[in-house]
Amino acid sequence: MPARLGRYAVRRRIGAGAFATVWLAYDEQLDSPVAVKVLAENWSEDLAVRQRFLEEGRFLRKVESPHVVTVYDAGELDDGRPYLVMSYADQGTLADRLEIDGLTPAQALEVVREIGAGLQTLHERGVLHRDLKPANVLFRSIDGRVRAMVADLGLGKSMEVSSRLTVIAGTPSFVAPEQAQGEPLDRRADLYSLAALTYLMLASRAAFSHASLSAAAAPGPPPPLSTPERPFPPEVESVVARGLAADREQRWPDAASYVGALESALGPLAGDIGEPWLPLDPHLTQLGAPPSIKVDDTPLPEPTPPRRVRRWLLGTVAAVVVLAASGVGGYVVAHRGDPEVTVTDDESSISVTVPRAWDRHVATDGWRPEGADGDLPAVSLGTAGGWTDPQSGAQGVFAGILPGDELPAQLPQHPECGQAGSRVPDNGQLGPSATVVYSDCPGGVTVERVIQVTEDQLLWVQVRSHDRGTANRVLDDVAVHGM
């Protein structure tokens, strides 16, 4: 952990991902905690990634709103990496709240109000967010009141650029169909994501659980919002359904009109909301000790290195994995307030984001599949050391590169599972793929996916999860870099 980033004293790490690390720091001149986002070292020479990082700061700097994360400062470290200094969200993320307690209708309506206000301000400044999801809604306490803020404009684009944009990106379960199709975008793409968030907060389940962006391109109508346990008036159903219309011409024209309609429909049911509308979590407000502090004059222990993980079989591909744990390597833990971690292999070729409990047994230094001349990039992590055992109920994911110029005729078989789904072909963001889902397994669900990422390389992904929704999210967050 660095002692300082520019003039800011570092307290602790609060988040990390494939492209950047976020540190909680202290502005000693202004006597205030701040979040400092630093571009990852392995991307510092990639001009496209560097430009996107700096554009995020410029987009956020255009906006003056209590409901959009503020950028206070920017700079460059001695090694040339850029950093952004932003407001510190001391109350976690919407993903945290939904994972732990959920929200009442009144609380959900207030989140929509505040995020809608943030989006409206972005749009008025000519900026699209393009990746609105629970992990990108942050909560911050100001004078004893919690405020919701839009964060992470890593995929943000100016509307002028988005009107010509053809690059496909976003989170499948929250992305608008036209964005998943690579069409030119306008503010209604963000409104679709806001409606998807609304549905999730009210129903305590997502409107869609798309396994890929290609599935999000043709979503169909969402299931009814109401259930016997959580009923809502038809007026609320109608407002949210219009926000989730696949045809953008049928959606609300802007964030203000959507929020106003939802207030009219849901307000009588939600009732008045008192203060604090969202309870403060005092644990989250703790800034932590400065980096120089020791316990009983003993330095804090180093992170436990990942353990060796063995035992893989790729059906007719006959690929045997050998993973050695020679150090933490590319193990990057994303304690960014949401209940997830991001792990990158030692060569920064593969990254995957998973539930935080899945990082108990990690290996990142590659594998040697049959037919390969040497080690290839791979990453493995799970809730227990034996998560790959067919009879284990543990959860985990493996993602590794192997040689191959076409998809295998057969994916790995799982006779321990009660049901085997049919082979599903797809042409997703990473390339042509084949997926098979097995259910009624000892641990719940097992998913096998093989993707043709280059002309002569395949990416094999295996996920074992207690439920299909979690497996889908993990599959969505597997990424390759530099290929």
Residue 14 to residue 284: CA distance in whole angstroms: 11
Contact by Cβ (8 Å): 307, 385 = yes
| Angstrom distance (rounded) from CA 354 to CA 26 | 29
In whole angstroms, give the CA distance from residue 301 to residue 304.
8
Identify the DSSP state of 89.
Answer: -
Contact 436, 420 (CB under 8 A): yes
Catalytic annotation, pick one of 96, 131, 190, 254: 131
What is the C-alpha to C-alpha distance for residues 322 and 405, in angstroms, rounded to an integer? 22
Biggest CA-to-CA distance, the chain:
67
pLDDT of residue 420: 81
Write down the pLDDT at residue 45.
Answer: 81
What per-residue confidence (pLDDT) applies to 246?
Answer: 93
Q: Give dist(CA 94, CA 330) in Å, integer.
A: 28
Residue 355 tokens read as 């539930």
Predicted pLDDT at 481:
82
CA distance 436 to 337: 32
The secondary structure of residue 353, as a DSSP letter, is E
Say whether 37 counts as a known binding-site residue: yes
First CA to last CA distance, the chain:
30
Q: How far is CA 220 from CA 158, 196, 246, 346, 471, in A?
A: 28, 13, 7, 40, 21
Alpha-carbon distance of 129 to 62, in angstroms, equals: 13
Q: Tell me how far apart the alpha carbons of residues 291 and 90 are, in angstroms, rounded to a whole number.
A: 19
Q: Are 19 and 25 in contact (CB under 8 A)?
A: no
Report, as ranges of residue numbers, the positions in the chain whose pLDDT lies below 50.
154-168, 282-283, 285-338
- Classified as helix, coil or strand, 197 is helix
Q: Which residues contact 233 (CB under 8 A, 6 or more apart)?
A: 265, 269
Which amino acid makes up residue 10?
V
Burial 88-107 (b: 16+ CB within 10 A, else e): bbbbbbbbbbbbeeebbbbb
Would you state the structure tokens that stand for residue 227, as one six-digit string? 């259930």
Cβ–Cβ < 8 Å for 363, 324: yes
Separation between Cα atoms, residue 160 and residue 177, nearest integer Å = 19
3-class secondary structure, 46 = coil
CATH of segment(s) 94-270: 1.10.510.10
Position 126 scores a pLDDT of 81
Give the chain's radius of gyration (CA, Å): 23
Do residues 457 and 403 touch, judged by C-beta distance below 8 A? yes
Q: pTM of the full predicted structure?
A: 0.57
Q: What architecture (CATH level 2) is domain 4-86?
A: 2-Layer Sandwich (3.30)
Domain 309-480 sits in CATH 1.10.287:
no
131 given a catalytic annotation: yes
Enumerate residues 6+ apart whose C-beta is below 8 A from 289. 11
Domain ranges of the chain: 4-86, 94-270, 309-480
